[in-house]
């Protein structure tokens, strides 16, 4: 009995450093969020007196002020518009393309296309930045949200197409063959039978792309210069640069801007984790 207790005790003692280090890092990672939340509820005086302390009372004026000045509401709407539209068509087009590529291995054109998609993933954005800017200038598409959607779909397409093509290869063909024998056309076949079978990869791709496109900075930065069309990230970029003086109000704005993506994170967290763990990462 004594022996057994001792063994348990030893085991417990051994686990202490592991738990302690984990807790330490967890606090380290949460610290910036703590600072952000706390600062957003304090007056400037309170922050100046003690940056770390909790607010004496919740100073909501920071938030009303932030909503009035930052116009983040508009920016959140722009980001949501761009994200929803881009991700919807991105998923649809890459599922269609990935399916066609995976099921026609002996088609030369599609094989070359897959190669082209794959190598395009190595292109850094900087190389497309100046020409895309020029195209948009000539077409007068600058400050046009739909224009940005086109670019985001086009530049993001290769990766999800590649992921979906890889997944389609693991889906058995029997179901498709059976449907074909029953007289099902290729379009019906894809939308009624194949698309539902792709749901595991579709949910991963949707979750990852939503996160990446919501946080897109490069494309929106060069194409959206007018204040009314700016997406949240670009708006944040200019707003934080401008209002670095009133940090409390700026942090209230920061918290407001975090809410949509945090809600999304809570909902889609399972798919994000699954996607990233399997190595689905943007290069």
Partner 1 sequence: MKGKNSVQVFLSRSAKYIFVLPGLSLFIFAVVIPFFMGLNIAFTDWNGISPNYHYVGLKNFLSVFKDSRMTLPVKNSLKFALIGPVVNNALAIGLALMLNQKYKKLTSVAKLIFFMPVCFSSVLSAFIWNFIYKNVFSAVLGINSPLGSKFWVIPAIIVIGLWNGVGVGMMIYLSALKSVPEELYESAKMDGASSFKCFFHITIPMLTPAYTTCVTLSLTNYLREFATTLSATGGGPARASETISIYIFDNLYTYNKAGYGQALSLLFMIILIFISTGVSTFFRKMEVEL
Query: Interface with partner 1 by CB under 8 A: which range of 1-9, 28-36, 63-71, 170-178?
Result: 28-36
Q: How far is the CB of 56 from partner 1 (least distance, A)?
A: 17
Q: Is 93 in the site for partner 1 (CB under 8 A)?
A: yes
- Count of residues in contact with partner 1, rule CB under 8 A: 96
Q: How far is the CB of 19 from partner 1 (least distance, A)?
A: 6
Strand extents, DSSP E, 3-60 = none
DSSP line for 152-182: HHHHHTHHHHHHHHHHHTTS-SHHHHHHHHT
Q: Is 154 in the site for partner 1 (CB under 8 A)?
A: yes
In whole angstroms, give the CA distance from residue 117 to residue 108: 14
Q: How far is the CB of 136 from partner 1 (least distance, A)?
A: 10
Q: Is 164 in the site for partner 1 (CB under 8 A)?
A: no
Q: Residue 41 gets which letter from DSSP?
A: T
In whole angstroms, give the CA distance from residue 206 to residue 200: 10
Q: What is the largest CA-CA distance in the chain?
A: 84
CB-side neighbour CA atoms (13 Å) of 283: 11
What element of type H or E holds 192? none
Two tokens, residue 130: 């100046």
| C-beta of 81 vs 93, nearer to partner 1 | 93
Q: How far is the CB of 199 from partner 1 (least distance, A)?
A: 18
Q: Is 64 in the site for partner 1 (CB under 8 A)?
A: no
Contact 77, 230 (CB under 8 A): no
In whole angstroms, give the CA distance from residue 44 to residue 67: 18
Q: Is 111 in the site for partner 1 (CB under 8 A)?
A: no
By CB under 8 A, what part of segment 188-217 binds partner 1? Answer: 190, 211, 214-215, 217
Q: Is 110 in the site for partner 1 (CB under 8 A)?
A: yes
**Measured in whole angstroms, how far is the alpha carbon of residue 202 from the centre of its chain?**
14
| C-beta of 2 vs 138, nearer to partner 1 | 138
By CB under 8 A, what part of segment 237-276 binds partner 1? Answer: 237, 240-241, 244, 247, 250-251, 254, 257-258, 261-262, 264-265, 269, 272-273, 276
Closest CA to 88 of 213, 228, 261, 219: 213
Candidate list 16, 108, 109, 183; residue touching partner 1; CB under 8 A: 109
Q: Is 281 in the site for partner 1 (CB under 8 A)?
A: yes
Q: Is 131 in the site for partner 1 (CB under 8 A)?
A: yes
């Amino acid at each position: 009995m004594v022996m057994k207790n001792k063994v348990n005790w030893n085991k417990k003692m051994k686990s202490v450093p592991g738990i302690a280090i984990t807790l330490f890092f967890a606090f380290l990672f949460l610290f910036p969020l703590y600072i952000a939340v706390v600062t957003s509820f304090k007056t400037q005086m309170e922050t100046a007196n003690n940056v770390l302390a909790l607010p004496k009372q919740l100073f909501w004026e920071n938030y009303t002020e932030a909503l009035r000045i930052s116009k983040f509401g508009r920016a959140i709407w722009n980001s949501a518009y761009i994200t929803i539209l881009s991700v919807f068509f991105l998923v649809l087009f890459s599922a269609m393309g990935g399916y066609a590529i995976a099921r026609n291995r002996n088609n030369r054109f599609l094989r070359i296309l897959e190669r082209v998609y794959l190598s395009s993933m190595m292109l850094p954005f900087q190389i497309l930045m100046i020409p895309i800017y020029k195209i948009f200038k000539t077409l007068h598409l600058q400050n046009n949200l739909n224009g940005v959607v086109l670019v985001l779909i086009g530049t993001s397409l290769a990766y999800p197409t590649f992921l979906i093509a890889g997944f389609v290869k693991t889906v058995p063909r029997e179901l498709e063959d059976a449907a074909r024998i029953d007289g099902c056309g290729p379009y019906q076949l894809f939308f009624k039978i194949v698309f539902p079978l792709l749901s595991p990869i579709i949910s991963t791709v949707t979750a990852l792309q939503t996160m990446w496109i919501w946080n897109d900075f490069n494309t929106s930065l060069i194409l959206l210069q007018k204040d009314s069309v700016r997406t949240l990230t670009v708006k944040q970029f200019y707003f934080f640069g401008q209002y670095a003086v009133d940090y409390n109000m700026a942090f209230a704005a920061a918290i407001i801007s975090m809410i949509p993506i945090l809600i999304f994170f809570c909902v889609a967290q399972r798919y994000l984790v699954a996607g990233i763990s399997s190595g689905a990462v943007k290069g």
